[in-house]
Structure 1
Amino acid sequence: MSEPSSAAIGLPRISKKETRRATKIAFFAWMIAVYDFILFGTLLPRISGTYGWDTSFALLVSTLVSVGTFVVVIFVGPLVDRFGRRKGMIITVTGTAVSSAATAATVGAASLVGVRSISGLGLSEQSINATYLNELYSLTEDEKIRKNRGFVYSMVQTGWPIGATVAAGFVALVTAIWGPDSWRIAFVLATIPALSVALICRRLRESPQFLAQRHLAELRKEGKTAEASRFAQTSGLSEQTHAAPLKRIFQGKHLRNTIVLSLAWMVNWFGIQTFSVLGTTVLETGKGIDASNALLLIVVSNLVGALGYLVFGWAGDRFGRKKVIVFGWIAAGCMFGAMLLGPSNEIFVMVTYMLGLFFLLGPYAAILFLQAECFDTDCRATGSTFIGAMSQPGAIIGGFILTGLVAAAVPFATAAFWVGAVGTVVSGLVMLGTRSVSTTGTFAAEEELVSTAPVRADV
């Protein structure tokens, strides 16, 4: 793979074949990462049974896992901005395999918290693939993808509900074959697809933007200031790249969206932690649904959640990503509130839970693309991953509040309402403070250069 040369005009275009192959690989990478992440939440009641934990202690363990996950996620973005999107994809999916295998070998709460923290690599995969695909889509020769990038990316994001559905179905299958205490077998088997996808990720090629950014940094390091400036202009890159990426996202045009989006993610994960990660606990403990029916509800509801990604990806392209995110999260909180405060009739619970996940998960197809559009190339992965990492403080804070309320003898359904349903509504209101972005700035510069860029096979 050759480096961009200072004589090159613009950035090389990405062929239709390369664009679509990268999209497919990103989908499977994200689905497998979610599969491992949700597998833990789905099996938490079984793990608790093995170790004799009550609901309060199990929630504490889940919260401590979120602390470790946050520590891992926060460092991924700067590494990807330094070493590349391709390597980031490989490392995150490999981390998923390691997380699954290590979980099967745990012997108690301390070891479980330690090894599940590795799942932070898998969780950060969504921000990495959003960054990577954003850059590819802005330079692709496939006009349909360029004009409908939010909708196309929403297909990748359906990996969350599909991964969650596969995890729930897999748990049901493993439990039926080996019994309710077979959670270790489930995690061992989960390493196989993760390792397979990690190997497939090696077929990905680095994004032209990252290669150009790296070349720009080398020119500056060599003291070739004038040449670096010319190269930045012809490549559509920002010339203000002297600060470290983590510092850059808190400066100038990036500051407002970094703060607002981080806060929105944090509060929204009160709802994700409650209704998606701990979905089986909410249904079994909060609504009195038996274990087998709870798993069925998880499967059906996540299929509806997958449809939500497609709808919100499409709507974000046409009505604005910010607007659809605000609407979706407020609607999700209302649906979950109705489920928790309403009757325990299984039909009613299923309908409200399905609609809740539809409106809760769907907007992530829009927000991940929006936040990648907020940052310049040199800090794009750092910004997107940092914001995504704020999900874990949200899970931690929400988990502690939920644990505290349950420990104080508050009914689980009531606790889940105040933490999950109300938190989801608040996250939608926070999004109102986001500065709307469109295909302007860096992305506009990249796209404008496509028509003059030479077609290069080494991209």
Structure 2
Amino acid sequence: MTADNSRVVTILCLLTLVLEGYDVVMYGTVVPSLLEYEPWGLTASEIGWLGSILGLGMLAGALLAASFGDRMGRRRTLLISVTVFSAAMTVCAATRDYEVFAVSRFAVGVGIGFLMPTATAAIVEFAPAAWRNRAVSLGFAGTSVGGIAAGLLSVWLIPTLGFHAMFWAGALPAILLIPALWLLFPQAPAGAPRGLPMVTPPDQAPKIALSQVFQAANARTTLSYWALMVICLLLIFGTVTWLPKLMGGAGYSVAAALTFLLVLNIGGLIGTLSGGWLADRFGVQAIIVAGFLAAGLALFGLICKPPTLVACLLVVVAGSGTVGTQILLNAWVASSYPATCRAAGVGLALGVGRLGAIAGPTYGGYVISAGAGYSWQLAAFALPAVAAAVIASTVRPRPPEFSAETQ
């Protein structure tokens, strides 16, 4: 394994993760158009159900990655995930049938869910130990880049070409990426001299059992990772859904309330890019604890209804401490398992964590509909962040036996 291979893998994974970030944000941009699309006549609840389909597909994809990712190899798994994603996005763009569209949205989620744990494992395995966390953070910055691209494209694509054009814009780059993965993604060399050992060839790999994942990092650590994933994704999806309404209810203008959502994503990008460097310098666990704690304190700070500029700075911290921390969680989990069950460990953690992504918007809606005041609404998101910091500080992972690193 060479540094050049590490760079190629990181860049290719970054490009695939741009697709994931694009799709998650893109769906929100087409919701108004879907509500006005007369041939389907969708209600708001049906639109919400379509959004949940993606999350369920991501859950299924993550669990599939946990079952088969380590045995199939990173290159083959990435090719399959991008192929499924691009095919499903193409159907979404071309179909005018609601049922076909709904099934395709589920398939898009499966491709995304399969992609994320595989990309994490691939970057971790090819990157030298000295900058592994930075490599993962750089690769996963693609999710923020994709989200920004979706927001920018929606401004002129939807008014001029309609909402289907947003799906074409996600499908076509995916189709172009497949040949690049096929030609450029390096095969795992035997007896790699540096970095983490490569995944076992598919015909030699043992069947991965859930018990092996629990044994590799011990049951308590694995369950702690699952809890952290659930809380982090609940915070991300919950705040993305409800932050504008919460801030509008606090008396901020409509324009400012919408700006907070953009600022939240900017904070996520800052946290993603800086988190890896900080983790390599001070340790990934310490930065994850600090990230969760900072996000919780920032959300508590918003309860005071500070001036708009101060509020924006607090929202940047909240975004950095949630989205940025999620990326570091992926790296932390991946580095805690040996190569024989790394994708299984990450896939299971992300799969369970998807429950938080599905529950986040519903959780926020319940708190708001229950009649809680502004302070309690924000506290409902701040408290889980602080709880996650406590959980992360108590984790004592057992380092896996990475023989290649000890040579």
TM-score tier after normalising by the smaller chain length: 0.7 to 0.9
**Residue 433 of structure 1: aligned partner:** 394
Residues 122-162 of structure 1: CA deviation (Å, up to 9, x unaligned): 14423211111211124xxxxxxx42221232211211222
Q: Is the 8 A contact 1:124 1:388 kept in 2?
A: no
Task: Give the Å deviation of 1:405.
Answer: 4.2
Structure 1 distance, partners of 2:52, 2:156, is 27
Aligned amino acid, residue 249 of structure 1:
V
Aligned-residue CA RMSD (Å): 3.3
In the superposition, relative to structure 1, how do residues 151 and 374 fare at CA in structure 2: closer, same or farther (>3 Å)? same
**Residue 228 of structure 1: aligned partner:** none
Q: Is the 8 A contact 1:27 1:156 kept in 2?
A: yes
Structure 2 distance, partners of 1:282, 1:411, is 11
Residues 93-141 of structure 1: CA deviation (Å, up to 9, x unaligned): 2333234334444655x66653322223214423211111211124xxx
**Residue 127 of structure 1: aligned partner:** 117
Aligned amino acid, residue 429 of structure 1:
V
Aligned amino acid, residue 198 of structure 1:
I
Q: Is the 8 A contact 2:292 2:322 kept in 1?
A: yes
**Residue 14 of structure 2: aligned partner:** 27
Q: Does 1:263 align with 2:224?
A: no
In the superposition, relative to structure 1, how do residues 24 and 69 fare at CA in structure 2: closer, same or farther (>3 Å)? closer
**Residue 8 of structure 1: aligned partner:** none
**Residue 173 of structure 1: aligned partner:** 156
Q: Is the 8 A contact 1:38 1:277 kept in 2?
A: no
Q: Return the TM-score normalized by structure 1.
A: 0.75
**Residue 100 of structure 1: aligned partner:** 89
Q: Return the TM-score normalized by structure 2.
A: 0.84
Q: Is the 8 A contact 1:27 1:159 kept in 2?
A: yes
2:56 to 40, 62, 67: 67
1:207 to 188, 197, 206: 188
Structure 1 distance, partners of 2:249, 2:103, is 27
1:42-191 aligned at under 5 Å gives the runs 42-48=29-35, 50=37, 51=41, 53-54=43-44, 58-59=47-48, 61-104=50-93, 105=95, 113-118=102-107, 119-138=109-128, 146-178=129-161, 182-191=162-171
- Relative to structure 2, which stretch is displaced further, 86-95 or 116-125? 116-125
1:41-440 aligned at under 5 Å gives the runs 41-48=28-35, 50=37, 51=41, 53-54=43-44, 58-59=47-48, 61-104=50-93, 105=95, 113-118=102-107, 119-138=109-128, 146-178=129-161, 182-202=162-182, 203-208=184-189, 213-214=200-201, 218=204, 244-251=208-215, 253-276=217-240, 290=254, 297-339=260-302, 341-343=303-305, 346-406=308-368, 408=369, 410=371, 417=378, 419-436=380-397, 440=399
Structure 2 distance, partners of 1:402, 1:300, is 20
Task: Give the Å deviation of 1:42.
Answer: 4.0
Structure 1 distance, partners of 2:387, 2:49, is 24
Structure 2 distance, partners of 1:255, 1:276, is 32
Q: Is the 8 A contact 1:168 1:298 kept in 2?
A: no
**Residue 193 of structure 2: aligned partner:** none
Q: Could you say what secondary structure the match of 1:62 adopts?
A: helix
- Relative to structure 2, which stretch is displaced further, 349-358 or 313-322? 349-358
Larger radius of gyration: 1
Q: Is the 8 A contact 2:232 2:356 kept in 1?
A: yes
Q: Is the 8 A contact 1:248 1:254 kept in 2?
A: no
In the superposition, relative to structure 1, how do residues 399 and 251 fare at CA in structure 2: closer, same or farther (>3 Å)? same
Task: Give the Å deviation of 1:262.
Answer: 0.6
- Relative to structure 2, which stretch is displaced further, 367-376 or 294-303? 294-303
Seq. identity, %: 18
Structure 1 distance, partners of 2:112, 2:385, is 23
Structure 2 distance, partners of 1:428, 1:403, is 24
Q: Is the 8 A contact 1:63 1:400 kept in 2?
A: no
Structure 2 distance, partners of 1:262, 1:441, is 18
Structure 2 distance, partners of 1:103, 1:286, is 38
Aligned amino acid, residue 273 of structure 1:
F
Q: Is the 8 A contact 2:18 2:146 kept in 1?
A: yes
Q: Could you say what secondary structure the match of 1:442 adopts?
A: coil
Structure 1 distance, partners of 2:155, 2:376, is 27
Aligned amino acid, residue 289 of structure 2:
V
Q: Is the 8 A contact 1:22 1:204 kept in 2?
A: yes
Q: Is the 8 A contact 2:337 2:400 kept in 1?
A: no
Q: Is the 8 A contact 1:100 1:188 kept in 2?
A: yes
Structure 2 distance, partners of 1:103, 1:404, is 31
In the superposition, relative to structure 1, how do residues 298 and 43 fare at CA in structure 2: closer, same or farther (>3 Å)? farther
Task: Give the Å deviation of 1:20.
Answer: 1.3
Structure 1 distance, partners of 2:223, 2:83, is 30
Where does the alignment leave 5 or more consecutive residues of structure 1 unmatched?
1-13, 139-145, 219-240, 450-459
Structure with higher RCO (Cα < 8 A, 6+ apart): 1
Aligned amino acid, residue 229 of structure 2:
W
Aligned pair count?
Answer: 395
Q: Could you say what secondary structure the match of 1:89 adopts?
A: helix
Q: Could you say what secondary structure the match of 1:78 adopts?
A: helix
